């Protein structure tokens, strides 16, 4: 990629699509690119995904607003990318590298899974970009796991390739939900009457939180009238439930129990990924939800669920767990992939 060429990067989500520009050769503070050059994102903007018919439409509007003329683009998208094409998991969008390149007048376009994009950013995140949940002891060159509950549940992992880490995709969020507690087992039975396949995503994501709430309500947990009114008026109930659970001024047992159940499930699933890929290099929690519930992830409950793995409990207790608080890790990762594709800056 020519120096000072603009690169368009995007993070497509079920709720929002975030776009930004990167100018190759920028030398400002931020997470580092492939060869150590900091990644400075320019003109970041957020668009509601459901309000647009396609990624092409969102990108065209962004380029119209900014007046930018990038030469290349890289987009993280929620779902598997096969042969340069992707069908978005929680949106009616079909995305093609070829179609995007032609429609936007670009020389090259790269699609990658959004969690792969986030994973690419993990090795270059700075101390201010993460918070420690479990200090642990990372093994040099050990595999790293990434779990990211947002609108859906994304997962990815990184392996050491001799000179650096390489990110790999996973669709683990669509694997079967394995209840970690007796209460969660009852939740599984409840969910079987709601959806045909109870994946982890259905109970461990933004769209899953209302299911947890409905399950507890079905067990007779009282719902305060003020919360019922807020939920009835909300387009997305998950933030309302989370806000009620974390409200220090007004107690709301059903919301608090919903968040506790969510943390139990998230901890268990993060531990499952750690076991499956032997994530001795650490596990990172990313996505839109974890930064909003940081207090609930650091009070011990998450780690109890994370380490509850029988004979491997001791191993899990030694794995570092960190919360990603950087606002746009997928965009940073998309830049790194584009730099890799073009041989760096």
Q: What is the DSSP string of 172-237?
A: GGGSBP--SSHHHHHHHHHHTTT-SS-BGGGTSSTTTHHHHHHHHHHTT----HHHHHHHHH-SSH
Q: What is the pLDDT of residue 71?
A: 92
**Residue 159: which residues within 8 A CB-CB, separation 6 or more?**
143, 165, 166, 168
CATH topology of domain 173-324: Hexokinase; domain 1 (3.40.367)
Using the predicted structure, report yes or no on whether residue 51 has a pLDDT greater than 50: yes
Q: Can you tell me the mean pLDDT for 45-67?
A: 95
Whether pLDDT at 343 is above 60: no
Question: Where does the chain hold its CATH 3.30.420.40 domain(s)?
Answer: 6-123+327-342
Give the confidence band of 2 by pLDDT, cuts at 50, 70, 90. Answer: very low
Q: How far is CA 303 from the centre of its chain?
A: 19
- Confidence band, pLDDT 50/70/90 cuts, at residue 39: confident
Q: Beta-carbon neighbour count of residue 179 at 10 Å?
A: 18
Which range, of 71-85, 176-190, 251-265, averages the lowest pLDDT?
Answer: 71-85
Pick the CATH number of 6-123+327-342 from 3.40.50.620, 3.10.290.10, 3.40.50.300, 3.30.420.40: 3.30.420.40
Residue 154 contacts residue 287 (beta carbons within 8 Å):
yes
Confidence of residue 339 (pLDDT cuts 50, 70, 90): confident
The residue length of the chain stands at 345
Q: Where in the chain is the domain with CATH 3.40.367.20?
A: 173-324
pTM: 0.90
Question: Is 280 within 8 Å of 134 (Cβ atoms)?
Answer: no
pLDDT at residue 3, rounded to an integer: 54
């Amino acid at each position: 990629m020519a120096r000072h060429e603009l690169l368009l990067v995007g993070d497509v989500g079920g709720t929002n699509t975030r776009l930004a520009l990167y100018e190759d050769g920028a030398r400002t503070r931020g997470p580092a690119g492939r060869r150590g050059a900091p990644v400075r994102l320019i003109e970041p903007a957020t668009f509601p995904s459901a309000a647009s018919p396609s990624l092409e439409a969102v990108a065209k509007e962004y380029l119209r607003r900014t007046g930018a003329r990038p030469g290349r683009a890289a987009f993280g998208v929620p779902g598997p990318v096969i042969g340069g094409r992707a069908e978005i998991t929680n949106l009616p969008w079909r995305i093609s590298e070829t179609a995007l390149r032609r429609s936007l007048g670009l020389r090259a376009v790269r699609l990658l899974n959004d969690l792969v994009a986030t994973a690419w950013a993990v090795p270059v995140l700075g101390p201010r970009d993460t918070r420690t949940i479990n200090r642990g002891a990372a093994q040099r060159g050990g595999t790293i796991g990434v779990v990211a509950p947002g609108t859906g549940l994304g997962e990815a992992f990184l392996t050491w390739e001799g000179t650096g880490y390489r990110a790999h995709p996973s669709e683990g969020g669509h694997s079967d939900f394995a209840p970690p507690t007796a209460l969660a087992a009852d939740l599984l039975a409840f969910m079987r009457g709601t959806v045909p396949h109870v994946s982890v995503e259905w109970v461990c994501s933004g769209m899953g939180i209302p299911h947890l709430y409905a399950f507890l309500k079905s067990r007779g947990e009282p719902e305060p009238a003020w919360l019922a009114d807020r939920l009835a008026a909300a387009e997305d109930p998950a933030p309302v439930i989370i806000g009620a659970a974390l409200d220090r001024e007004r107690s709301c047992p059903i919301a608090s129990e919903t968040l506790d159940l969510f943390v139990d499930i998230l901890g268990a699933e993060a531990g499952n990924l750690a076991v499956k890929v032997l994530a001795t290099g650490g596990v990172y929690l990313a996505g839109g939800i974890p930064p909003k519930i940081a207090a609930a992830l650091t009070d011990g409950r998450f780690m109890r669920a994370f380490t509850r793995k029988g004979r491997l409990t001791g191993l899990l207790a030694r794995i570092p767990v960190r919360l990603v608080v950087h606002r746009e890790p997928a965009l940073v990762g998309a830049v790194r992939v584009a730099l890799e594709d073009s041989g760096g800056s």
